[in-house]
Amino acid sequence: MLTPRHGGSGMQSKIMGAPGLAFETWVGTVIHTVAVHVRNSKPFFLALLLAIGASISWVSTPAIAQQASAPTAQPASPAQNPPNPSTPAQPAARAGSSTPFTYRTSVSEVVLYATVVDSHQRLATNLQKQDFTVFENNVQQTISSFGQEDVPVSLAILVDNSGSMAQKRAAVNRAAIDLIQASNPQDEAFIVNFSDEAFLDQDFTSDIGLLRKGLSHIDSQGGTALYDAIIAGADHLAKQAHHPKQVILIITDGEDNSSSATLAETVRRIQALNGPIVYSIGLLYDEPDHGKGRQARKALQTLSDQTGGLAFFPKSLDQVDSIAAEVAQDIRHQYILGYHPTQPINQGGYRAIRVEAKAKGMGRLTVRTRQGYFAQPQTQSGTPPSTPTRP
């Protein structure tokens, strides 16, 4: 578990999925006091007790209030229920419609977000359901739901804050803000700056000003705990995100040298959480294409390939902004495919996924989506890293 910087842990309960703890503790004390008077069944105090108890469900946490007003389904916290890879996110309204987004769920449906490109790496955006074929463990599946909606996304922006990034952060921050501004207006994002430790410098918001402020916490020093930051970011998405479609954007300039987790453990954790899609920008143009430079490229490429995202390796800092714009377009032009596995979900185990697309006159098409999932994720040993808040 990551420790808060300078020992500040005042907001850690929020990051770990328990906002409003102090309020609930106070209410508990009041209820205990009232309960003493209820021993004699005094009607007045009994009624007061019931009223206070009922009020907890309305104001105990901001998350509950948000859930009541949000049109999207709240993902379950992994701490309470193991992530269910079969829980779908199926939009009922197309982008541009005045109808708000709504989601239907089915406990046995697996949902994939897929990007399709032609032989020239151009987005193929006019495909139909019959153009796709889905395989799970090499067995063809029946597509039960299909769409291509620009659905809102919950986005984690993880930016390397190690010493080597000092001269690059200004350009990186501008690119991150440009990406957000080019995204769906209903998207929400949070900012994590990481070096030896990862800090949540801005929680979920759609406010550009707050996100810009979160990115401004530049104190480039220390090493690069990339894997720990990714696991912490993915865990925060699973617990707190308001949208089923989730994305992690990583911007770093070096190899992980400080994490307690390995690359394999990081990929396994993301798969166990049933997502998110990982996009990587590796600022490795100063690194030789061997040794540590090659290992850093391999790690970012693996993370993106396994989750259906893309890894970019610009040749200069000037290319970062155009890459951010490409990521935004990629996220907004994905197909949503749902299917009910022929092998029952409750049989558990890892399931390899492959999706193919063919359409008349389109030539060779390539589909990017996650390469697999765990049908019944095993309980993780130990507590996954969480993202402490900057004191």
**Quick one: which of 270, 261, 337, 267 has its CA closest to 83?**
270
pLDDT at 107: 58
Which helix or strand (DSSP H or E) is residue 322 part of? helix 320-332
Averaged pLDDT for residues 195-213: 95
Q: How many CB atoms lie within 10 A of CB 43?
A: 8
User: To 5 degrees, how large is the angle CA 124–CA 328–CA 315?
Assistant: 95
DSSP state of 319: G
Q: Output 21 or 342, whichever has higher pLDDT.
A: 342
User: Does residue 337 come out as left (phi exceeding 0), alpha (psi in the -120 to 50 range) or beta?
Assistant: beta
Residue 7 has pLDDT above 50, yes or no: no
Alpha carbons 251 and 231: distance in angstroms, whole number: 15
Residue 2 has pLDDT above 50, yes or no: no
Range of lowest pLDDT (4-8, 349-353, 360-364): 4-8
User: Does residue 263 come out as left (phi exceeding 0), alpha (psi in the -120 to 50 range) or beta?
Assistant: alpha
Averaged pLDDT for residues 81-97: 38
pLDDT in tens, 126-176: 999 999 999 999 999 999 999 998 999 999 999 999 999 999 999 999 999
Q: Output 36 or 231, whichever has higher pLDDT.
A: 231
pLDDT at 292: 80
Averaged pLDDT for residues 86-101: 38
pLDDT tier at 94, thresholds 50, 70, 90: very low
> Which residue, chain included where needed, has tokens 């105090």?
45
Residue 226 has pLDDT above 90, yes or no: yes
**Quick one: which of 166, 115, 146, 88 has its CA closest to 326?**
115
pLDDT at 374: 87
Q: 324: helix, coil or strand? A: helix
Rounded to the nearest integer, the mean pLDDT of the chain is 77
Residue 88 has pLDDT above 70, yes or no: no
**Quick one: which of 58, 388, 103, 85 has its CA closest to 242?**
103
Residue 68 has pLDDT above 60, yes or no: no
Between the CA of residue 63 and those of 51, 66, 240, 379, what are the distances in Å? 21, 5, 8, 25
Q: Output 127 or 217, whichever has higher pLDDT.
A: 127
